[in-house]
Amino acid sequence: MKIILKATNFSLTSAISDYIEKKIGGLSKYLSNPESTAIEARVEVGRTTQHHQKGDVFRAEVNLKIPCGLLRAERETGDLYASIDSVHDEMKRQIISFKEKKISKKIRAARRAEI
């Protein structure tokens, strides 16, 4: 999976980019089906404002392109690493849901063919 990183309103350090590569790259194990292999993941992290110090100021967004669509997750929290973790969990949930939906459609089609 190809990961494209973008930072908004702050500088992207090597520690942050390595953490993103590890977290988002780990999603590829959920895309083990050859039909749903991800082409690319666009990750954007940043600060929502420059002058606020408290509250949800860090944002993480992931757009995961797969052959039959696009999966997207976005989160804002007070900590950058927490934002990355929560967007990872949301993408994992969406991937599993997408795969289960495809499987259930195949099962329903097979049941109809039997009748």
What averages of pLDDT result for each successive group of 10 residues across the chain (115 residues)? Answer: 90 93 89 64 88 77 89 93 95 90 76 70
Burial of 7 (0-12, 13-18, 19+ CB in 10 A): middle
pLDDT at 38: 59
Which pLDDT does position 33 carry in this prediction?
59
Number of Cβ atoms within 10 Å of the Cβ of 59: 19
Task: Classify domain 2-114 by CATH number.
Answer: 3.30.160.100
The first and second tokens of residue 78, run together, are 């007070």
The whole-number pLDDT of residue 115 equals 62
Contact 38, 1 (CB under 8 A): yes
Q: Residues 73-105, buried b or exposed e (16+ Cβ, 10 A)? A: bebbbeebbebbbbbbebbbebbeebbeeeeee
